[in-house]
C-alpha cells in the first residue's frame, strides 16, 4: 500500500522524475514457488477507495507482484523504509547492517513515530491507510527539501 500511496503522491506533486520507488518483502511469506503474491485484495480495495489503482490512475497495482529484498537493494536506494520494527530487523539482516543509516520506519518522519498498524493482524486496512498516508506525506515533506530548486 505504501509503495502505491507514495507513487500517487509524487505523481500529484509532479516530481516523479526525482524518485525511484519500489517495494520488497523481507520474508518469503509473500513468495510462493518462486512467484510473488499479487497485492492483497483488501489492500487493493483500500487503495481503490482513495483513487489509487483505478483505470485513470493504475500505477501498476493490478500487475504488482511481491519480490524479496536483496542485499543489492541497500546500494541501489538512498532510503529503505520499513513499516515496523520487525521489517527493520529483517532489512538489517538482509543488507548486512545499516552502516549508511538508510533504514527508517515510515512513521519516523512524522511527529508521532511508531509502527504502521499491521492489517494482517488488525484486519483494519483503513487504519493502516491513515498511517501510510500520514507517513508518506511526512516522508515527502522531508525529501522535498532535498529536491533541486527548479523541481
Phi, psi of 28 (to 5 degrees): -85, 5
Q: Per-residue pLDDT for 8 more than 80?
A: yes
When divided into structural domains, the chain yields a total of 1
Phi, psi of 125 (to 5 degrees): -70, -20
* pLDDT tens profile 17-45: 999 999 888 877 765 555 666 677 888 89
Higher pLDDT, 31 or 119: 119
Tell me whether residue 149 is in a domain: no
Task: Report d(CA 76, CA 7) in Å as an integer.
Answer: 18
Are 69 and 83 in contact by the 8 Å Cβ rule? The answer is no
β-pair partners for 38: 65
CATH code at 122? 3.40.50.2300
What pTM was estimated for this model as a whole? 0.87
Pairing of strands 31-32, 35-36: antiparallel
Are 107 and 113 in contact by the 8 Å Cβ rule? The answer is yes
Tell me whether residue 19 is in a domain: yes
Domain that holds residue 77: 2-144
Tell me whether residue 150 is in a domain: no
Q: What is the pLDDT of residue 37?
A: 64
Tell me whether residue 126 is in a domain: yes
Please report which helix (H) or strand (E) contains residue 104, including its range: strand 103-105
* pLDDT tens profile 76-99: 999 999 999 999 999 999 999 999
Task: Report d(CA 124, CA 80) in Å as an integer.
Answer: 25
Tell me whether residue 63 is in a domain: yes
Tell me whether residue 49 is in a domain: yes
Phi, psi of 35 (to 5 degrees): -115, 130
Mean pLDDT in the chain? 88
Contacts of residue 9, defined as CB under 8 A and 6 or more positions apart, other chains included, come to 136, 137, 140
Tell me whether residue 151 is in a domain: no
Q: Provide mean pLDDT across the span 9-15.
A: 95
Tell me whether residue 6 is in a domain: yes
Amino acid at each position: 500500500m505504501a509503495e502505491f500511496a507514495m507513487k500517487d503522491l509524487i505523481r500529484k506533486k509532479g516530481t516523479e522524475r526525482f524518485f525511484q520507488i519500489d517495494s520488497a518483502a523481507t520474508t518469503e511469506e509473500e513468495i510462493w514457488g518462486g512467484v510473488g503474491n499479487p497485492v492483497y485484495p483488501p489492500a487493493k480495495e483500500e487503495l481503490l477507495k482513495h483513487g489509487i489503482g483505478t483505470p485513470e490512475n493504475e500505477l501498476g497495482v493490478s500487475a504488482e507482484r511481491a519480490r524479496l529484498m536483496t542485499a543489492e537493494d541497500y546500494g541501489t536506494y538512498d532510503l529503505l523504509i520499513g513499516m515496523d520494527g520487525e521489517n527493520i530487523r529483517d532489512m538489517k539482516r538482509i543488507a548486512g547492517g545499516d552502516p549508511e543509516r538508510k533504514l527508517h520506519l515510515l512513521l519516523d518522519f512524522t511527529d508521532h513515530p511508531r509502527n504502521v498498524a499491521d492489517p494482517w493482524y488488525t484486519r483494519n486496512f483503513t487504519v493502516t491507510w491513515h498511517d501510510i498516508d500520514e507517513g508518506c506525506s511526512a516522508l515527502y515533506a522531508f525529501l522535498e527539501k532535498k529536491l533541486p530548486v527548479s523541481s
